Amino acid sequence: MKLQAVSNRKLYIQIADQIRDQILGGAVAPGHQLPSERDLANNLGVSRPTVREALIALEVAGLVEVRVGVGAFVRERMGGAVSLPELSPSPLEIMAVRRLLEPEAAALASQQMSPEGTVRLAETLRRMRAETAAGEWSSESDRTLHMTLADACGNAVLRETLDSLWTSRRGEVDTRFHQHLSDIGDTREHILADHEAIVAAVVSGNAEAARAAMARHLDFVAASMLDTWE
């Protein structure tokens, strides 16, 4: 029997591996732009979002520079081995699970948010407003707001699951993915407005409004992750 080895590597890392080999083989010279996401996806037989994750993994590895709205450009190599971020979870998979769980966590939190939690939400929103006004975005402020809701949901398993998801978001690829999103001013403003709406619904004790506000927020972020960047 002739069997092929089965790879358990993430699909986007397998794609990044192929593109890396092409770059290191001289298929695209430093300073030149890689083929478009659409062309890469068609040639590789995968989705454009998967190609985007692969390009960001290559950016983390120092092989390309991703310019949102333009494309990916090969960088000059400084020598040495090129290692891909193998341990980084898929940002799209993390978002898919968040969309399943966080709306319910927000609804539960609206029914049992403590005074201390309400104060923490208000302080976090103030910090987010200041960051947005300065053209900045902080993953820590984002995490604090969402985990304050998780802390108040009253379900220890749900809380620990969400904490694990947010820990996964600290991976290099996910961090860079969201940084690219936050570099877009309109996106930062939209996300701030979403967070304002979530907190307002939670502190008012309206479970359905909290659930809906969180779902709208995560739907927007997911759509932004899937929108073409070229």
The pLDDT score that the predictor gives to residue 226 is 82
| pLDDT tens for each residue of 185-205 | 899 999 999 999 999 999 999
The whole-angstrom separation of Cα 173 and Cα 59 is 9
| pLDDT tens for each residue of 83-129 | 889 888 899 999 999 999 999 999 999 999 999 999 999 999 999 99
Residues in the chain: 230
Check: pTM over 0.85? Answer yes or no.
yes
CB under 8 Å to 38, separation ≥6 — which residues? 48, 228, 230
CATH topology of domain 91-226: Four Helix Bundle (Hemerythrin (Met), subunit A) (1.20.120)
* Residue 194: both structure tokens together: 């979403």
- Residue 80 gets the label, from left (phi > 0), alpha (psi -120 to 50) or beta, of left
Averaged pLDDT, 24-42 = 92
Residues of the chain with CATH 1.20.120.530: 91-226
Task: Please give the share of the chain, as a percent, with pLDDT higher than 70.
Answer: 94
How far CA 48 is from CA of 12, 188, 230, in Å, comes to 10, 23, 11
Residues of the chain with CATH 1.10.10.10: 11-74
The whole-angstrom separation of Cα 224 and Cα 130 is 23
Q: Does domain 11-74 have CATH number 1.20.210.10?
A: no
The 3-state DSSP class for residue 72 equals strand
- The alpha-helical segments, DSSP class H, found in 111-169 are 115-133, 139-151, 156-168
